Amino acid sequence: MTAPVVVVGSLNVDRTYRVRRLPAAGHTIHARSRSTAAGGKGANQAVAAALLGADVALVGAVGDDQGGDDLVESVAAAGVDVTGIVRVDAPTGEAVVLVDADAENLIVVSGGANLCLDAAAVTSAVRAARFVVAGFEVPDDAVLAAAARARELGARFVLNPSPMRRLPAGLLGPGALLVVNEHELAMLAGGDATVGERARAASGRLGGCDVLVTLGARGALLHEASTGHPAEIVAPRVDAVDTTGCGDAFMGALVAGLAADLDPAAAATRAVEAGAFAATRPGAQSSYPTSEELTRWRRDRQ
């Protein structure tokens, strides 16, 4: 595949339960409603980027089952190139998503087929790209292969290490972009320092990569190694109904903006808007805006 944006990541069938309050350990609670939809951080990010006009391909793994068929079909329907999605001998990934009355969520992922994505599948699928995006719902070997292909192709490597685990040595370096939330940043560079100071410390520890920290309803903070100064991006205020997949909407919009030659701060600003927009609608992919919707939404809010 030769799309300018290639996402190497997961596809999951999301089983979502709306609840009044997220349960505590040992509690049994009733759901108010339930639904099934396409999800997975990789698929969500690819769909978000495609809806905003990016030419994007997804490299991932699904099982040879109904869930796999449905996911590939829905991602393709959003305009994503799915030729890099392989079928493996494991059940398609699934996620149980609980969403409470305050729009907060709690997610448990059963990786299944995603955990079978190997380096060979990634290396052979990524033939040309300007941006290679990878996440942590697939194995280290696949992520390392994505980074290696980005280096070989002269593409920018964008890492969203979620759910966080130890970063393989040498994964990031100058020119790479790391996108983390505050909890993930704390695992990389903890302490009492400000977010900007911790972003700079993480950049220093990770080979001088740029670091973009998502701050939920507060927006984001961009630390570019070349300037050394943090830039804060304030999020629009919204009435959130469901925050599931908002970080993926952010990632997709970010890379769509970079692929459209926006500078990193402008791309991050659009990403913050896309994440905020996504919080106003239920679900993950079902909540993502097209370019026209985002433009209209921005105009209506002025």
Select the residue interacting with ligand RIB from 68, 112, 245, 282 (CB under 6 A). Answer: 245
**Active site residue: 248, 261, 263, 300, which one?**
248
What is the Cα–Cα distance from 92 to 115, expressed in whole angstroms?
Answer: 10
Per-residue mark of binding to ligand RIB, 21-60 (x: CB under 6 A): ------------------xxx--x----------------
Catalytic, 248? Answer yes
Q: What's the sign of the alpha-carbon dihedral 152, 158, 164, 166?
A: positive
Compute how many residues bind ligand RIB; rule: CB under 6 A: 16
The strand pair at 156-160 and 177-181 is best described as: parallel
Q: Which of residues 14 and 210 has its CB atom nearest to ligand RIB in the complex?
A: 14
Report angle CA 44, 148, 151 to the nearest 5 degrees.
100
Which residue of the chain is nearest ligand RIB when measured via CB? 39
**Residue numbers 70-99 binding ligand RIB by CB under 6 A:** 95
Select the residue interacting with ligand RIB from 5, 10, 59, 88 (CB under 6 A). Answer: 10
Element (DSSP H or E) covering residue 50? helix 41-51
Select the residue interacting with ligand RIB from 5, 6, 12, 19 (CB under 6 A). Answer: 12
Rg (CA), the chain: 18
Q: What's the sign of the alpha-carbon dihedral 81, 36, 281, 184?
A: negative
**Residue numbers 278-297 binding ligand RIB by CB under 6 A:** 284
What is the Cα–Cα distance from 279 to 270, expressed in whole angstroms?
Answer: 14
Residues labelled as active-site residues:
248
Residue ranges that bind ligand RIB, judged by CB under 6 A: 10, 12, 14, 39-41, 44, 95, 107, 109, 137, 244-245, 247-248, 284
